[in-house]
Amino acid sequence: MLLEEFELRDVARKAVGVGIVGTRAWIALMMARDNNDPLFLQIKEAETSVLEPFLSPSKFPNHGQRVVTGQRLMQATSDIFLGWLHVEAGVDGKPRDFYVRQLKDWKGSALIEQMSPKAIAIYGKVCGWTLARAHVRSGDRIAIAAYLGSSDPFDRAILEFSNAYPHQTERDYSELVDAAKSGRIIAQTGL
């Protein structure tokens, strides 16, 4: 219903990040009737889930629908333009599934590079809380609560893992640097 107020004016191919290299992504320019209200939509290809070879096929007939349903399940409030579509014959003549969202939804973003250590710690707690809330929304909270029980072994295990993780990351990085210096691997630093 919201998109009925807009008209498609142009579409451009978009280069995407490393997580989805090789998939198709487009930007669509939509204009409202008065030509003063542009809306940019991002249209990203949704392929078969990487889990499908190990689990049963998706129950959704459209992989875009699968992605959108997952996002709506995990997000307390999602993009009002979030949706999916199927193209019977894409540019290459093959059928493709896509999900659509607003390119820039104007939500705020934290400038972590400008934060003090105390602010980063608070920000980390907020991100952790948000991630936990998203997972609670998508899981069976009664089964999870029953599994965890009322004692704290899980809490202690997560704390232990969290404290060990940065040290492991530093060890991994040190080994990577040593391997590159010794010639065991070829690495480009980007500098």
Domain spans, the chain? 2-102, 112-182
| Dist. CA 99–CA 81, nearest whole Å | 10
- The pLDDT assigned to 3 comes to 82
pLDDT tens-place values along the chain, 191 residues long: 778 888 999 999 887 765 666 688 889 999 987 877 888 999 999 998 888 889 888 899 999 999 999 888 877 777 888 999 999 987 889 999 999 999 875 667 788 889 999 999 999 999 888 888 777 767 777 887 888 888 888 889 989 999 999 999 999 999 999 999 999 998 877 65
The residue behind tokens 């104007």 is 106
Q: Is 94 helix (H, G, I), strand (E, B) or coil?
A: coil
| CA-closest candidate to residue 95, choices 61, 71, 70, 53 | 61
Whole-angstrom distance, CA of residue 190 vs CA of residue 8 = 39
pLDDT at position 105, please? 57
Inter-CA distances, 77 with 41, 91, 129, 168, Å: 18, 33, 15, 35
Helix, strand, or coil here: 121?
helix
In 38-111, where does DSSP find H-type helix? Answer: 63-74
Paired with 31 in beta bridges are: 7, 38
Q: Please indicate, yes or no, whether the overall pTM of this predicted structure exceeds 0.85.
A: no
What is the predicted pLDDT for the residue at 143?
81
**Predicted local distance difference test score (pLDDT) of residue 18:** 57
> d(Cα 93, Cα 170) in Å, to the nearest integer?
47
Q: What is the pLDDT, as a whole number, of residue 109?
A: 75
